[in-house]
Each structure stands twice: as C-alpha cells, then as structure tokens.
C-alpha cells in the first residue's frame, strides 16, 4: 500500500497515532521491530502497545487529578488506548488498571481491522529522508536508529540516561524557612546580566546537626537497583546520585550541591548579624518552568525509592510539607531535548517532515506517551488534509503537556515529566487550596469542549 504517513514504533504513542490517522481514512504504515526477530531488553512479547512495567494508568479521577483529567480528554478525542483500557479493566479502586495481555490484544485487533493501515514487522535503522514520518520508538530506541537521530539532531540533544531530580510545587515550600538568593558565583552574575536580580534560587538552610542527620538518612534509605540491562550504564559526574556523593565522605555534599558559600540566611538575622548567618549546608531549588510553579532540587538525582524520597526530603528545612510534581530517578533512557529541537507541532525543526511522539519527546508515563501520540496523529491529519491545526488550549492537560515539551520547559534542565497541575497556567489565586484542583479540571473541561469540534 502506498502510505501517506510512516509511523516507526508500535508502543503506546505509535499505536495511538496510527489509530487517529487510520480512522480518518489516511493510509498508514506502522513499523514495529518486535516480531521481526528483534526485541528490546524490557519487552516480553511482540504485541503492540505492550505494557512493560506497571499495569496501571494511574488515577482515573478527572475531578482532582491531572492524569485522570488527561484520561477524560483522550476519551473525548476518541482514544483507542482509553477504549482498550476500558475493555481490559481490572479492579483497582479509583485507578485505571488493566489486564496487560487483554489490553495489548485489543489495541492490535483494532488497528489490524483498519483498512487503510498496514502493520509491518521490521526494524528501521535510518530516519527517512522524505515523507511524513512519526518516530515513536520510546525510551529503548534501537541503537542504530538512535544513532541516526543523534546524527541529525546533534550529540548534545539526545540523552541516553535519565538523571532525574525531584520537582517540588512552589506553593508547598515554606518561605518562612527558605529564602531567595544565589551563591556568590557565576550563576548570580549570569542572572544579573540577563536582567534578573541575582536571587534566582530557593534556599533551604541546615545547621550542622541537621546536615549530618540528613546525610545519614540518605545513606540508610531504601534504594532501587539497576535492571540487568541497565547495569552496564556507568555513573558520570553530571548525574551522580545524591546518596552516592554522600557516601564519598562527610563533607562531600557541602562542597558539591549543598555548598553554602555566599548564602546569608535572613531568617537567622540578629542585631549582631543583621544580614543573617551562613548555614552549614543549603539545599537549592531552581525554577523548572516558565510559570514558576515547579522548582527542581538541584543536584538531587537519586536511586532512593519513591516513598523514601518523600520521607527523607521532607526532613529538609522548608520542605516539611513539600508536594512533589515528580520524584527522582536514574535509569537508561533515550529522549530528545524537545524544547530546543521540536516546533509546536512536534516536528523536527531541521527536518519538518519528521514528527516525534511519546516518551522519546520527554514525557513520562503510559498515558502521557499515548496522549502525545494522539496529538501527533491529529497534527499529521490536519497537515495532510490542508486544515489549520487548532492547538489544544493551554489550560487543558493535552495543551499543558504539549506546551511543556515544545517550549515551556527550561531546555538546559529538560528531563522527562508526568502531567501535573504545575504545568498548567495557574488558576485565580483567590481560589481556596482545597478546591483548587477542581478549578483546574473544571476550566480544562470547559475549554476542551470548545476545542474538540475543531479537530480534523
């Protein structure tokens, strides 16, 4: 069949993109290397949209939860993944969990039934030079294709290892304990040169006893282990886990990410020291998105298990009530520096016939991957039919996720991210915190209802 769109990768994103195109009568070729004698280290079978880790799509609550809202929005857009998940659903309380074998079989059967879709079991090693293409090969992209992507985008624009530091919601930081300042170094100078005030970081202070106790918690905390296929990936200085640094010596963190140089704490001011006193150690947080709602814990990439991260990091002064938009991690991955490389329609700026979708764009999670695949499919459909692309409202989960990937995130610190309310434009500050989540979802649903009829 003479295809109009070539999709490479039959995971969550590729399957959803193929569905959105084929159901509109567009001729699609979907290439998936599993089933051709090839398999990734993480997959167990050859089925499309195989769930390689958890069988959960997380919360299905679309009133108070960002990922539940994303479920709702995908359903409104005719998502295959959401329809298949409903058929494969298993009891999981308020979460959407599935029988992974039934789910994959439902997706593959629905795609195979599309008359304009051809599924080809083959490995693609080189980016196509012409023709509309969607790359949806995920975090375990085969080495040859990853090399081809790297050659086209530049070596510094394609990561092969996640070193993820936790991200905290700004409103959950206690600013009666923390304060804004930069160290006496080039960072503050650069801020001033760019028109800032040199107070670009949130600082959480520790005295000596607090620091030593915190270090002991890092060392004793329960940690995850590398999977067998990740074990050969070495640490390097730019992504060393905070607990590994702590194990190198009592003072290592104080001369690394927790150095207190030049940071007078105004909350500790006295008559003798009106500018404050220097803490023994400081945890710094750096703004992570343009909205200023999310702040990254600088240098705190970690292999601590998620529950341990919440427990240990809430012992940091100023973070006792911290709410986390993302917890830390360290694992093998392949993803683009999308804010630099992709335009607002997920097209590679240097080769606009190529779109990227799914986790390779830097989203995190099954649902987010499928959502970006859905958007890529809709964008390609609009392009092929000569229609203007109606970008999803920034206030929706789809719009917030797309904006984060394609420009709102800080390119220098870009890392994979789940959907969360910190990506959305803030709601009215007068809305009480206990009903703020409902305000986000209500606004999103209202705006989505105006958007869906304009889709191609």
Residues 6+ apart with CB under 8 A from 91: 97
CB atoms within 10 A of CB 28: 27
- Best CA proximity match to 205, nearest among 265, 159, 285, 157: 265
CB atoms within 10 A of CB 417: 24
Instruction: State the Cα–Cα distance between residues 292 and 168, nearest whole angstrom.
Output: 11
Phi, psi at residue 31, to the nearest 5°?
-100, 125
Q: Which residue carries 């229609």 as its tokens?
A: 387
| Residue 47, annotated as binding a ligand | no
218, 235 contact by CB (below 8 A): no
- Best CA proximity match to 43, nearest among 12, 18, 68, 79: 12
| Residue 449, annotated as binding a ligand | no
What is the β-pairing status of strands 167-169 and 324-326? antiparallel
| Residue 206, annotated as binding a ligand | no
365, 423 contact by CB (below 8 A): no
| Residue 159, annotated as binding a ligand | no
123, 38 contact by CB (below 8 A): yes
DSSP of 118-147, one letter per residue?
A: EEEE----S--SSSEEEE---TT--HHHHH
| Residue 35, annotated as binding a ligand | no
282, 258 contact by CB (below 8 A): yes
Instruction: State the Cα–Cα distance between residues 310 and 324, nearest whole angstrom.
Output: 8
Annotated binding site: 9-14
Annotated binding site for FAD: 9-14
């Amino acid at each position: 069949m003479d295809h109009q769109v070539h999709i490479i990768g039959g995971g969550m994103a590729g399957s959803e993109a193929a569905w959105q195109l084929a159901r509109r009568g567009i001729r699609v070729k979907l290439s998936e290397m599993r089933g051709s004698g090839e398999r990734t280290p993480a997959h167990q079978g050859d089925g499309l949209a195989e769930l390689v880790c958890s069988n959960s799509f997380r919360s299905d609550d679309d009133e108070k939860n960002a990922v539940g809202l994303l479920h709702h929005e995908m359903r409104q857009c005719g998502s295959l993944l959401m329809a298949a998940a409903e058929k494969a659903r298993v009891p999981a309380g308020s979460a959407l969990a599935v029988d992974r074998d039934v789910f994959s079989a439902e997706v593959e059967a629905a795609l195979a039934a599309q008359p304009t879709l051809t599924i080809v079991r083959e490995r693609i090693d080189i980016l196509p030079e012409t023709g509309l293409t969607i790359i949806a090969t995920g975090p375990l992209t085969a080495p040859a294709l990853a090399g081809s992507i790297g050659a086209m985008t530049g070596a510094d624009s394609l990561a092969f290892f996640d070193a993820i530091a936790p991200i905290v919601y700004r409103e959950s930081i206690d600013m009666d304990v923390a304060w804004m300042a930069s160290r006496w170094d080039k960072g503050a100078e650069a801020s001033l040169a760019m028109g800032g005030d040199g107070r670009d970081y949130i600082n959480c202070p520790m005295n000596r006893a607090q620091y030593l106790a915190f270090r002991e918690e890092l060392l004793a905390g329960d940690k995850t282990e590398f999977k067998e296929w990740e074990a050969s990936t070495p640490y390097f200085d730019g992504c060393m886990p905070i607990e590994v640094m702590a194990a190198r010596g009592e003072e290592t963190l104080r001369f690394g990410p927790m150095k207190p140089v030049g940071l007078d704490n105004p909350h500790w001011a006295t008559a003798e020291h009106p500018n404050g006193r220097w803490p023994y150690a400081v945890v710094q947080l750096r703004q992570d998105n343009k909205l200023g709602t999310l702040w990254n814990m600088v240098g705190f990439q970690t292999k601590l298990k998620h529950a341990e991260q919440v427990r240990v990091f809430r012992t940091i002064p100023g973070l006792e009530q911290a709410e986390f938009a993302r917890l830390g991690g360290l694992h093998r991955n392949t993803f683009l520096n999308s804010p630099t490389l992709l335009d607002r329609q997920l097209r590679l700026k240097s080769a606009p016939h190529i779109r990227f979708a799914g986790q390779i764009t830097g989203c995190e999670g099954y649902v987010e991957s499928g959502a970006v695949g859905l958007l890529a499919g809709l964008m390609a459909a609009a392009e092929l039919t000569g229609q203007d692309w109606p970008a999803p409202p920034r206030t929706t989960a789809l719009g917030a996720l797309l904006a984060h990937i394609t420009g709102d995130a800080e390119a220098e610190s870009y890392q994979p991210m789940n959907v969360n309310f910190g990506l959305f434009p803030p709601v009215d500050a007068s809305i009480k915190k206990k009903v703020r989540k409902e305000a986000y979802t209500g606004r999103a649903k209202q705006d989505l209802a105006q958007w869906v009829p304009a889709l191609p």
